[in-house]
Amino acid sequence: MAALVTFDAQGRWGETLVCEARVRETLRAHGLDHGRWPLRDPGDGSLEAVLAAYGPELDGLRERLAVRSVDRVSLQPDHAGWPELRRQFTAEHVHADAEIRFFLGGTGLFYVRTDTGHLGLLCEAGDWVVVPAGVRHFFDAGEQPDFDALRLFSAPDGWKAQPTGAPSPELPLLDAFVDQLIGLTGHAMD
């Protein structure tokens, strides 16, 4: 189950949404797309097996968004390069093509800049999100990353971020976001 939080221009926590329909409606109002697919057994766990397991769903995104390449990123808590990757991911950036992610496991937090502040979208296994080309955003996976995701690209050469250099208000990164969410809702994510 995804959770979506609105933040004002000063970074203050606002409305918290955990209803899939309301999350999707709010994201679409800002030009993003989101959904959830049932988790399936990917057989041997290879990229090919995962692509086969989610073939019909992925085909729909491929056609609609002109996807030309797919890769898989899986980060575990002991990933030696995480501090540098985290600096890159948490710097606000844009892409020349859509950023499309499908979470096979774990959690990740996307922040998207809006006219009035930011949206914070917490994704977990089964969630997919489409951040359109040119939309200012960043991503965090916490102090100890633990996620597995497919990345779909309309560009054949994959992920190319263009940093905006824009300052952002102090927003809670994944660990603090989850703690605050648990405090507000009274329960952890699935």
pLDDT interval class at 1 (50, 70, 90): confident
Domains and CATH numbers, the chain: 3-185 (2.60.120.10)
Residue 188: pLDDT band by 50, 70, 90 thresholds? low
Using the predicted structure, report yes or no on whether residue 100 has a pLDDT greater than 60. yes
**Residue 26: Cβ within 10 Å count:** 18
pLDDT at 159 over 70: no
* pLDDT score at 55: 93
pLDDT band at 154 (very low <50, low <70, confident <90, very high): confident
- Does 38 score more than 80 pLDDT? yes
Residue given tokens 């990917």 in the structure block: 42
Which pLDDT score is estimated for 156?
67
Q: What percent of the chain has pLDDT over 90?
A: 75
- Report the percent of the chain where pLDDT is more than 70: 95
pLDDT at 73 over 60: yes
pLDDT band at 97 (very low <50, low <70, confident <90, very high): confident
Residue 31, pLDDT > 60, answer yes
pLDDT at 42 over 80: yes
pLDDT, residue 80, reads 92
pLDDT at 186: 78
The rounded distance, in Å, linking the Cα atoms of 13 and 41 is 37
Residue 103 corresponds to which amino acid? F
pLDDT, mean over the chain: 92
The band of 158, judged by pLDDT with boundaries at 50, 70 and 90, is: low
What mean pLDDT do residues 48-58 have? 94
Between residues 42 and 108, the one the model is more confident about: 108
Tokens, residue 176: 């603090």
